[in-house]
Amino acid sequence: MSLLRIRIDENGNWGEETANSKAAHAVGVKVLGSPWSPPPSWNTNGKNSGGHLLPQHYGDYVNWLRNASEHIGLDWVSIQNEPDFASWTNWTPTEIFNFMKNNAGGIGTPVVMPESFHFNDQVSDPVINDPTAESHFSILGGHIYGGGLSVHQNAINHGKHVWMTEHYIDNTQNSMANCLTIAKEISDCMNDQMNAYFWWWVYEASTTNLVTNTGSIFKNGYTIGQFAKWVRPGSVRVSTTYSPDPNVYVTAYKNNSGGVVIVAINTGTSGVSQQFTLSGGSGVNSFNIHRTSQSESMASVGSVKVDNNSFTYELNPQSVTTFHP
């Protein structure tokens, strides 16, 4: 784990998340805070859902976000979780643009926006296309409920990192079939030039948990770990033949020390003898290998030698395999 997303309570009940943020920072994890609503009295309907933030409170909201960020200890702050989803406080693209251009520069903490529930570029493009508004945010964030899993080229062209800040697939705790859907989704996000993936969520009484209340890890936690343990912050994704064989999906990364990490997914029911060829003078002589399958959980399964920048490995059926230094 390298990133934690927490909720900024609209009533200022920040004690629990302040403790979570402190614990995260103690182990080197950085924290994003997202509000589901401003203080309700600032909304058009006086409620924490269904209304819009009144323009006369935009300045108040800036001060509130700055105070929340300082109090909780945030590394990034979002202006709104899912502004285009009816259950929360709503923002039109014009409202987001006006706030980002005229107010957001005063927040102080780097801003993530707009966290559209289906990564709708129509919500963010007006901000990106305006030099002043664009200068007031750092990260393009969004969710992929029902859409948005694609390359967000306009943001990339403007030098912005792209984060997938919330999604889940249900009933994945111990179902390898569903865990393969997670692995393919993470791989798709990385192949679409995203820079981060946040799972909803780690622990509560639900079927999306990664761990039990005692810290034991479910199969979906190990599946995500096939990426998260070795593809660390500062790694750079490098190009691959993304699907070299039916049911096989491959992404690769260079880490800060120059090492290479490859994550290969086989969603099929048969093993695949897959050849990997490294180009560009990688200097890699061998890889260690860890694998998650129905019977394995990030299990160490030996190593493979690289000969003349190439190696062949049998990808077990319905498995996620990570090759790493």
Instruction: Find the mean pLDDT for residues 220-236.
Output: 97
Rounded Cα gap, residues 64 and 40, in angstroms: 12
Quick one: pLDDT at residue 283? 84
Quick one: pLDDT at residue 113? 98
18 φ/ψ angles, rounded to the nearest 5 degrees: -65, -40
All structural domains of the chain, each given as residue ranges with its CATH number in brackets, are 3-167 (3.20.20.80), 248-324 (2.60.40.1180)
Q: Place 25 in a pLDDT band, splitting at 50, 70 and 90.
A: very high
Amino acid of residue 297 = S
Which tens digit of pLDDT belongs to each residue from 275-296? 999 997 678 999 999 999 999 9
Of 77, 1, 110, 92, whose CA–CA distance to 44 is shortest?
Answer: 92
Rounded Cα gap, residues 209 and 180, in angstroms: 16
Which tens digit of pLDDT belongs to each residue from 140-170? 999 999 999 999 999 999 999 999 999 999 9
Three-state DSSP state, 236: strand
Instruction: Find the mean pLDDT for residues 40-51.
Output: 98
- pTM of the predicted model as reported, rounded to 2 decimal places: 0.96
Tokens read off for 276 = 């990997």
Kindly report the CA angle at 33 between 57 and 150, in degrees rounded to 5?
100
Instruction: Find the mean pLDDT for residues 250-254.
Output: 97
Kindly report the CA angle at 7 between 40 and 11, in degrees rounded to 5?
30
Q: Place 201 in a pLDDT band, splitting at 50, 70 and 90.
A: confident
Host H or E run for residue 60: helix 58-72
Quick one: pLDDT at residue 280? 79
Q: Which residues are catalytic?
A: 82, 166
Question: Exposed, middle or buried, 171 (CB in 10 Å: 0-12/13-18/19+)?
Answer: exposed
Classify the phi-psi angles of 119: left when phi > 0, otherwise alpha if psi is within -120 to 50, otherwise beta: left
Instruction: Find the mean pLDDT for residues 95-102.
Output: 98
Is the CB of residue 311 less than 8 Å from the CB of residue 276? yes
Which tens digit of pLDDT belongs to each residue from 107-142? 999 999 999 999 999 999 999 999 999 999 999 999
Asked if pLDDT for residue 24 goes beyond 80, the answer is yes
Which tens digit of pLDDT belongs to each residue from 51-87? 999 999 999 999 999 999 999 999 999 999 999 999 9
